[in-house]
């Protein structure tokens, strides 16, 4: 079953009095399977936050179709199954954390939420500060409280906009563990973040949005594979001329060589090198980090 | 969900220092008046009355008759004071609720958009009613203890505030949906209150215009507005023990509430289409 199903989703802001307006989304097609950890990345202004807001009904799409957990996102019964953390979180400054969570529970139609609230406060590390006014919290504490609000009621779909923004390194690790537990529970995780290293650690599928369109989408590992580029290491005693003649290119670093080509070509080159006495001691397909994947996608454009 | 949002509004009001300070100041004013008011009623049913040391009128009259000017003044003070304090105290509720980062959270929850505005409206109305009733009942009780005369005028004026505040706050909500600003919201409330005063006195004010088109335009425009000062007058008439016709009073209240719900419906229609 699909957690998110967007087809041709479009959003144009403004456009009054004959002006064309700003096209934030230009027909986004995206599906997210239930139970996956999906990361949406893209450069600033790509339309990521607009997409998140559109799937939650916070902005009204200009076109396209959208289904959330198999139903209409406008249906409150569907939204009751979704947890959301906005990008610029604002909480009532004069309330304490327990009050914020109790109000959230009421609005999420959760009855007898007391034990769940206590457990969440402990999980996000705010149990000791539960009676303090939220206005006195640090940014990281507010973010953790926002995360607790999103997690309340064990939602089937978690939509988190910059979830680790403002958290210190230790809190980030805790948040990652918390999210991993949610995925293990069966929840679908949809993260929109510009913190690519964090996204890489949490998500297994990635979508790249550029200028309002999804330009890449797939398994993280598949996107990170750089294609047919391999790094090899050979044992000592083999001459560079021989390896160059076999088809390898010397790479920076002692004993490192690269090969670009299909697997069959690689094997043929290896056969030639081994016939000349070379001993292969290391082989791996080169991968790119998410930053490079994004840079390539942005370079290719929509 | 409407009720849950209304309760959140009341909870927010309770936790705001500004609202608590207003509540404390009202209580302080009541206490000061209770302790300091030189209001003397002598000899039971026929009495001379002095207020702040000055004789109200020289004649010896029935106590309730002698006190009517006082109750009249108190009724108007409760009505207009309550409405003005209500505008000042609640001007930033809706802008805060619709602030970036907060409204997204609210709209992502299983809440319909109309429930957000209806809940805010209901919560603020309950808050204003509670505040006005506290002040009105406090003044009525205080004067009862001082004079032995129980006059419902201040309490009716307090109920009148809640009715009159409905279109005022609906206008404030509409302004916030159009442009999120506490100053604009307060300004819209004051503007509607002022317009309501003019509408309540439209017949005598129409005499100021030349007969013909200008008078017709004035009467036409003010016919659409809620006659808020007329609601204040009901409380004042009751305070003066003047008869009040139930039919016109009910029509006045119904018309005021209809105007409020009309404005609220416009605000909701705008809110439904708005992107956050």
CA distance to A158, B170, B179, B276, per residue, from B267 (Å):
31, 8, 11, 15
pLDDT above 90 (res A226): no
- In this structure, the answer to whether residues A81 and A199 fall within a common structural domain is yes
Residue A232 lies in a domain: yes
Cβ–Cβ of B109/A13 closer than 8 Å?
no
CA–CA gap between residue A47 and residue A68 (Å, rounded) = 19
Residue A118 lies in a domain: yes
Which range marks the domain in which residue A277 is found?
227-291
Say whether residue A79 is in contact with chain B using an 8 A CB cutoff.
Answer: yes
Q: How confident is the prediction for chain B on average, in pLDDT?
A: 86
Domain limit, last residue, from A222, A244, A271: A222
Residue B153 has what pLDDT?
Answer: 77
> Smallest Cβ distance to B1: which of A88, A107, A149?
A107
Cβ–Cβ of B4/A80 closer than 8 Å?
no
- In this structure, the answer to whether residues A24 and A81 fall within a common structural domain is yes
Question: For chain A, what is the domain count?
Answer: 2
CA A230 to chain B, closest CA, distance in angstroms equals: 46
CA–CA gap between residue A160 and residue A207 (Å, rounded) = 15
> Which CATH number does the domain housing residue A251 bear?
3.30.70
- In this structure, the answer to whether residues A195 and A246 fall within a common structural domain is no
- In this structure, the answer to whether residues A90 and A189 fall within a common structural domain is yes
- In this structure, the answer to whether residues A30 and A161 fall within a common structural domain is yes
> Which CATH number does the domain housing residue A50 bear?
3.40.50.300
Residues in chain B closer than 8 A to A77 (CB atoms)? 110
> Each residue of B236-273: pLDDT tens digit?
888 777 888 889 889 999 999 999 999 999 999 999 99
- In this structure, the answer to whether residues A151 and A94 fall within a common structural domain is yes
Q: How many CB atoms lie within 10 A of CB A203?
A: 24
Residues in chain B closer than 8 A to A109 (CB atoms)? 110
Spans of all domains in chain B: 2-273
Of the listed ranges A295-299, B50-54, B217-221, B231-235, the one predicted with least confidence: B50-54
Average pLDDT rounded to a whole number, residues A161-190: 90
> Each residue of A199-222: pLDDT tens digit?
988 999 999 999 999 999 999 988
Confidence of residue A151 (pLDDT cuts 50, 70, 90): very high
Cβ–Cβ of A80/B110 closer than 8 Å?
yes
- In this structure, the answer to whether residues A81 and A31 fall within a common structural domain is yes
Residue A258 lies in a domain: yes
> Smallest Cβ distance to B108: which of A79, A90, A91?
A79
Residue A134 lies in a domain: yes
Question: What chain B residue is nearest to A92 in terms of C-alpha separation?
Answer: B12
Residue A299 lies in a domain: no
Is A153 within 8 Å of A165 (Cβ atoms)?
A: no
Classify burial at B113, counting beta carbons within 10 Å of its beta carbon; exposed 0-12, middle 13-18, buried 19 or more: middle
Average pLDDT rounded to a whole number, residues A25-49: 93
Residues in chain A closer than 8 A to B100 (CB atoms)? 88, 90
ipTM: 0.79
For residues B162, B163, B167, B170, the Cα torsion angle rounded to the nearest 10 degrees is 50
pLDDT above 80 (res A143): yes
Domain limit, last residue, from A222, A250, A282: A222
pLDDT above 90 (res A239): no
> Each residue of A77-107: pLDDT tens digit?
999 999 999 988 999 998 999 999 999 999 9
Tell me which residue has tokens 């919560």: B123
Say whether residue B17 is in contact with chain A using an 8 A CB cutoff.
Answer: yes
> Smallest Cβ distance to A103: which of B8, B101, B103?
B8
Reported pTM? 0.83
- In this structure, the answer to whether residues A144 and A252 fall within a common structural domain is no
Cβ–Cβ of B101/A82 closer than 8 Å?
no
Is A278 within 8 Å of A231 (Cβ atoms)?
A: no
Best of B20, B104, B119 to disrupt the A interface (most A CBs within 10 Å) is: B104
> Each residue of A154-172: pLDDT tens digit?
999 999 998 888 788 888 8
CA–CA gap between residue A202 and residue A210 (Å, rounded) = 21
- In this structure, the answer to whether residues A116 and A167 fall within a common structural domain is yes
Closest residue by Cα to residue A146 from A106, A101, A176, A103:
A101
Say whether residue A149 is in contact with chain B using an 8 A CB cutoff.
Answer: yes
Residue A271 has what pLDDT?
Answer: 93
Cβ–Cβ of A106/B4 closer than 8 Å?
yes
pLDDT above 70 (res B20): yes
pLDDT above 60 (res B58): no
CA–CA gap between residue A60 and residue A23 (Å, rounded) = 13
CA–CA gap between residue B259 and residue B199 (Å, rounded) = 13
3-class state of residue A250 by DSSP = strand
CA–CA gap between residue A25 and residue A140 (Å, rounded) = 31
> Each residue of B129-144: pLDDT tens digit?
998 888 888 888 888 8
Residue B106 φ/ψ, nearest 5 degrees: -65, -45
Cβ–Cβ of A77/B11 closer than 8 Å?
no
Average pLDDT rounded to a whole number, residues B12-24: 83
- In this structure, the answer to whether residues A57 and A195 fall within a common structural domain is yes
Residue A296 lies in a domain: no
Cβ–Cβ of A99/B16 closer than 8 Å?
no
Biggest CA–CA distance in chain B, Å, is: 68
Residues in chain B closer than 8 A to A79 (CB atoms)? 108-111
Confidence of residue A60 (pLDDT cuts 50, 70, 90): very high
Domain limit, last residue, from A198, A222, A246: A222
Cα angle B46, B52, B58; round to 5:
40
Residue A68 lies in a domain: yes
- In this structure, the answer to whether residues A152 and A277 fall within a common structural domain is no
> Each residue of B183-214: pLDDT tens digit?
999 999 999 999 999 998 888 898 888 888 98
Confidence of residue B113 (pLDDT cuts 50, 70, 90): very high
- In this structure, the answer to whether residues A31 and A137 fall within a common structural domain is yes
Cβ–Cβ of A56/B107 closer than 8 Å?
yes
């Amino acid at each position: 079953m699909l957690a998110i199903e967007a087809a041709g989703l479009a959003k144009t802001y403004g456009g009054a009095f004959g002006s064309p307006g700003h096209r934030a989304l230009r027909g986004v097609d995206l599906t997210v399977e239930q139970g996956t950890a999906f990361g949406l990345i893209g450069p600033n202004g790509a339309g990521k936050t607009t997409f998140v807001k559109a799937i939650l009904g916070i902005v009204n799409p200009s076109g396209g179709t959208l289904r959330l957990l198999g139903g209409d996102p406008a249906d409150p019964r569907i939204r009751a199954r979704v947890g959301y953390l906005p990008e610029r979180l604002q909480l009532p400054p004069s309330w304490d954390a327990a009050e914020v969570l109790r109000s959230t529970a009421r609005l999420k139609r959760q009855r007898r939420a007391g034990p769940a609230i206590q457990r969440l406060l402990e999980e996000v590390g705010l149990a000791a500060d539960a009676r303090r006014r939220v206005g006195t919290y640090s940014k990281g504490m507010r973010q953790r409280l926002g995360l607790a609000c999103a997690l309340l009621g064990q939602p089937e779909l978690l939509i988190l906009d910059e979830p680790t923004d403002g958290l210190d390194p230790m809190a980030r690790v805790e948040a990652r563990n918390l999210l991993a537990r949610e995925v293990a529970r069966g929840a679908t995780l949809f993260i929109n973040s510009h913190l690519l290293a964090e996204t890489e650690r949490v998500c297994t599928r990635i979508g790249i949005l550029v200028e309002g369109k999804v330009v890449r989408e797939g398994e993280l590992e598949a996107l990170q594979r750089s294609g047919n580029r391999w790094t090899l290491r050979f044992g000592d005693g083999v001459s560079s001329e021989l390896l160059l003649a076999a088809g390898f290119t010397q790479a920076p670093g002692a004993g490192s060589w690269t090969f670009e080509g299909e697997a069959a070509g690689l094997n043929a080159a290896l056969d030639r090198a081994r016939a000349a006495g070379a001993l292969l001691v290391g082989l791996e397909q080169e991968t790119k980090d998410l930053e490079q994947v994004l840079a390539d996608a942005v370079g290719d454009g929509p | 969900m409407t009720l849950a949002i209304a309760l959140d509004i009341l909870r927010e009001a309770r936790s705001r220092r500004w609202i608590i300070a207003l509540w404390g100041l009202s209580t302080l004013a009541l206490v000061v008046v209770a302790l300091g008011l030189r209001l003397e009623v002598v000899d039971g049913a026929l009495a001379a009355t002095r207020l702040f040391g000055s004789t109200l009128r020289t004649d010896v009259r029935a106590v309730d008759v002698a006190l009517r000017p006082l109750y009249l003044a108190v009724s108007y003070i409760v009505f207009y004071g309550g409405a003005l304090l209500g505008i000042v105290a609640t001007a930033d509720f809706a802008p805060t609720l619709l602030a970036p980062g907060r409204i997204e959270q609210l709209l992502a929850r299983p809440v319909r958009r109309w429930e957000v505005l209806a809940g805010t409206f209901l919560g603020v109305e309950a808050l204003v009613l509670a505040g006005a009733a506290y002040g009105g009942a406090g003044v009525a009780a205080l004067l009862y203890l001082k004079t032995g005369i129980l006059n419902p005028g201040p309490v009716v004026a307090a109920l009148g505030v809640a009715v009159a505040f409905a279109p005022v706050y609906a206008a404030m909500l509409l302004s916030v949906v159009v442009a999120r600003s506490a100053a604009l919201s307060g300004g819209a409330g004051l503007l509607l209150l002022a317009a309501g005063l003019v509408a309540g006195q439209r017949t005598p004010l129409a005499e100021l215009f030349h007969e013909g088109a200008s008078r017709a335009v004035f009467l036409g425009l003010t016919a659409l507005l809620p006659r808020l000062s007329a609601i204040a007058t009901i409380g004042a008439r009751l305070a003066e023990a003047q008869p009040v016709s139930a039919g016109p009073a009910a029509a006045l209240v119904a018309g005021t509430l209809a105007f409020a719900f009309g404005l609220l419906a416009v605000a909701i229609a705008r809110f439904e289409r708005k992107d956050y």
